[in-house]
Amino acid sequence: MMAVLLDSSPRFQLGFFPSTPRPPLTLMNNSQSSRFETRAIHAGQPHEPVTGAVMPPVFMTSTYAQDAPGEPVGDYEYSRSGNPTRAALESNLASLESGARGLAFASGLAASHTLMALLEPGDHVVTGNDLYGGTYRIFRKVFERYGIKFTFVNTGDTSEVAAAMTDHTRYVYAETPSNPLLHLSDIAACAEIAHKGNALMVVDNTFATPYLQRPIELGADIVLHSLTKYLGGHSDVVAGALITRTEEVAEELAFHQNASGGVLGPMDSFLVLRGIKTLAVRMDRHCANALAVAKHLEASDHVERVHYPGLESHPQFDLCRRQMSAPGGMVSFELKGGVPAGVAFATSTKIFTLAESLGGVESLVETPPSMTHASIPSEVRQAAGLMDGLVRLSVGIEHEADLLTDVELALGAAAAV
């Protein structure tokens, strides 16, 4: 694979953090261009050699002919172990995250499952107390049964991370920004703590995407994505990924991926590759719209609190400036009317669709305590600051004025409760 120094010029031109240098770009793979937008379109996807097809073919095959027993024609034997369309996506993801290798899975939770499969009974994970509900569920309801121990802390406070470390800690696992409170973790500082304790730093980069934040360049060892979200970008595929700093860790994960079989199919791989090609332009619009919506909410008399790291009122605004090139497309907030007001808001929008998930081109609204985070006990949610009246917005790429009008109408409905 080719490694080239990347261009470090600013990528974001819409006014976010204009006086702050972007996180440095260091290495890239599988593309001769040094710029993110070009690699998103071309990395891992040379023209098909037989026909010259511009898009990678969808290899709808389960198996591959062999010249002799144990001697495949190429690098492929069976599509659970490897498929050319999936390989193109995995190579593309490694390039975008500055990693050694990418692995694509049937869902984000399939990727999480494989990540945890590397652990043994008695191993320990330090992780966030503000996690996606499905991640919390698989940690507590699945892997705790097998003897894996978890300590849930505020990973935005490095003193809590350091205090939670033990001799058996194998991962420090952080979502940043977190789901749904948009808390940030200092990736470089947490990675330093992890490495001092002989643990690996794992970052769920789903909310930020590699366009806004590249954890491996900040010291992380493994990056996790729900490709269902921004990287796919069109609400038409369910997929996940792990990208590693080293080939050694990738080999371990690849063994478990093949052994357990939670791989991404070729058609879904093709759809994610197609989505990634427009990631840069989509994220520009997501971020611009989200900032406008967050400012509108913050100015409303009906809103108690807005969670968005691009607002100067956010307690980690300065950290956002340091490790992200823009604050992302997710906004969450609490209304003064509590749960009834939140429900009224979520059921009164016309453009924001009431639905789970996020990161598609269309705007979505949900109430996490009763939807995406319902698997977390109420007392645990509230201890982490996730109030029952919280509303989460995935701000799409529609026209800003239409989104603001929709928000204002929903605020009026919430105020009337």
Residues with a catalytic annotation lie at: 80, 132, 204, 229
- C-alpha span between 395 and 392 (Å, rounded): 9
The closest of 331, 273, 271, 272 to 300, measured between CA atoms, is: 331
Would you list the DSSP string of 263-331? BPPHHHHHHHHHHHTTHHHHHHHHHHHHHHHHHHHHT-TTEEEEE-TTSTTSTTHHHHHHH-SS--SEE
Residue 138 vs residues 108, 109, 205, 359, 370: alpha-carbon distances, Å: 11, 8, 18, 22, 18
Report DSSP state, residue 359.
-
Residue 6 vs residues 31, 33, 184: alpha-carbon distances, Å: 11, 8, 26
- C-alpha span between 318 and 288 (Å, rounded): 18
Q: Is 108 helix (H, G, I), strand (E, B) or coil?
A: helix
Helix axes 266-276, 84-96, angle to 10 degrees: 30
Helix axes 279-298, 400-415, angle to 10 degrees: 40
- C-alpha span between 254 and 298 (Å, rounded): 45
CA 27 distance to own-chain centroid: 20
Across the strands, what pairs with 327? none
